Amino acid sequence: MFVEQSTVKIWRIRFVFIVLCVVPTICLCYFAASRQSAGYRQQIADKASKILGKQVQIEDLTHPRPGCLELSGITVAGQSLPSVSVVIAKHEIRLAVDGFLFNEGVVPFVVGLIERWLAEPVQFDKDCLIDIKNFSWEGFGSSGNSRVRPLRIECVSAGSGRAIRFFFRDSDKNEIRVARLLKDGLRSDVGEEYVTEIQVNTSEALPVPFIFAALRKSGGMHWDLGDQAVFSGEIDVSNVEGYWTAECSGRIKQVDLAVTTALLSAHLQGVAEITVNNFLWSQNRIKNIDCECIADRGEIEQVWIDRLVRILGCRVDEAYHHLSGSHARSFQRLGFGLVIDSGGLQLRALPGRSGSLLESQGLPVILEPLQMVTLDRLAWLLSGTRPPAVPGTDVTAWLLSVLPIPNAFR
């Protein structure tokens, strides 16, 4: 009798041990093995690809603790990321990226991802905080613009509003903000009406191609200033029901004049710097431009000089006539101030230049005009036809559609 009871107890204990110890251990081993499998990595990569809209590849994946992923050997949108740490909470996702090179090929992907995050709250239903330890611009501007910096990106939502903020952690005064808000908190009969706002405040060089990519839906023709052009200053843009309003002041450096004039019938060569004292755009039209442009060396086609005299009323000086007869001539300084508003166009020389707009071999070529001209003459200047035709080209047709409405037509 004693032996039978002992045998039953032993089997009961063994059964309890198997159920409470062996089975959980086997399950945990299976779970751990599955989390290290290629199939699980591919599952995570496919999920990331669906969210980002680009193919994602992951070479290695580990779970150091619950809710945390350590990824390595990642490739997304042609960008190789050595390591990424992902921490997933109930209402937030935190990503720590070791390094990121922002080049021209990445611009459309990043801008598209920003637009999707702002417009798809169901797909992107959590706040996101991204810390990039080593961030740099690649191929934009000077070597000083490519130095490595720690960048933070904050993607947050509050009610119907969603916003993204970019700033360097070692200088949070330089930042970019993009927000999408429900207009006046109201809904129309056709659906929700949103206001999109973009604010840039930076004393450091920001690539102009990146700014143009962010404003690609503004309805304007974004003039190509070259891949190396960089901007520093302030930009404030808003879009309400498809109508864009923008105000800008700052400086654009390393403007490639050959690229800028590529769509025109006559060309320039050289590198220029543009100081924007004020640029105001409202209701999809230019309201005011006040800027200065300086180029210290380059080449200008003679036809430009002739048009400036004939169309804008510039005055000729001692070096106006080009004895060599070549269609292009070199210059040592090109500098002017430009004001465009509803009153017309005013072209002026910069202070200390004795009225000279263009100098070649130390001599003034043309001087500033004595009076303002009507805005249609700017289209004549760029049309490239003789006699000048309006619109003449696609560029001048667009220009006429966005120039300020003259006071005479108000």
Higher pLDDT, 259 or 103: 259
Instruction: Give residue 242's pLDDT.
Output: 75
Average pLDDT, the chain: 81
For residue 50, name the pLDDT band (cuts at 50, 70, 90). confident
Q: How is residue 338 written in tokens? A: 């430009």
For residue 349, name the pLDDT band (cuts at 50, 70, 90). very high
Rounded CA gap, 69 and 406, in Å?
61
CA angle (129, 131, 135) in 5-degree steps: 140
Query: Which of these ranges, 44-58, 181-195, 335-349, has the smallest mean pLDDT?
Result: 181-195
Instruction: Give residue 143's pLDDT.
Output: 46
Other beta carbons less than 10 A from residue 187's beta carbon: 12
pTM: 0.80
Beta strands in 283-332 (DSSP E): 285-301, 315-316, 328-331
In terms of C-beta density within 10 A (0-12 exposed, 13-18 middle, 19 or more buried), how is residue 198 classed?
buried
Higher pLDDT, 336 or 401: 336
Instruction: Give residue 67's pLDDT.
Output: 77
Q: How is residue 286 written in tokens? A: 């230019």
The dihedral of CA 325, 327, 330, 334: what is its sign?
A: positive
Look at residue 381 and tell me whether its pLDDT is greater than 90. no
Query: Which of these ranges, 73-82, 120-129, 272-281, has the smallest mean pLDDT?
Result: 73-82
Q: How is residue 128 written in tokens? A: 């996101």
Instruction: Give residue 2's pLDDT.
Output: 46
Query: Which of these ranges, 175-189, 272-286, 342-356, 370-384, has the smallest mean pLDDT?
Result: 175-189
Rounded CA gap, 325 and 173, in Å?
53
In terms of C-beta density within 10 A (0-12 exposed, 13-18 middle, 19 or more buried), how is residue 39 classed?
exposed
Instruction: Give residue 188's pLDDT.
Output: 46
For residue 292, name the pLDDT band (cuts at 50, 70, 90). very high
Rounded CA gap, 311 and 285, in Å?
24
DSSP state of 349: P
Residue 370 CB contacts under 8 Å (≥ 6 apart), including other chains? 313, 315
Model pLDDT for residues 329-340, shown as the tens digit of each residue: 899 999 999 999
Instruction: Give residue 337's pLDDT.
Output: 96
Look at residue 300 and tell me whether its pLDDT is greater than 50. yes
Model pLDDT for residues 95-121, shown as the tens digit of each residue: 998 888 777 777 788 888 888 888 888
Q: How is residue 122 written in tokens? A: 């169901």
Instruction: Give residue 185's pLDDT.
Output: 53
For residue 29, name the pLDDT band (cuts at 50, 70, 90). low
Beta strands in 89-190 (DSSP E): 92-102, 127-137, 149-158, 161-168, 171-188
Model pLDDT for residues 198-235, shown as the tens digit of each residue: 888 888 788 887 787 777 665 555 678 888 888 999 99
Coil/strand/helix, residue 219 = coil
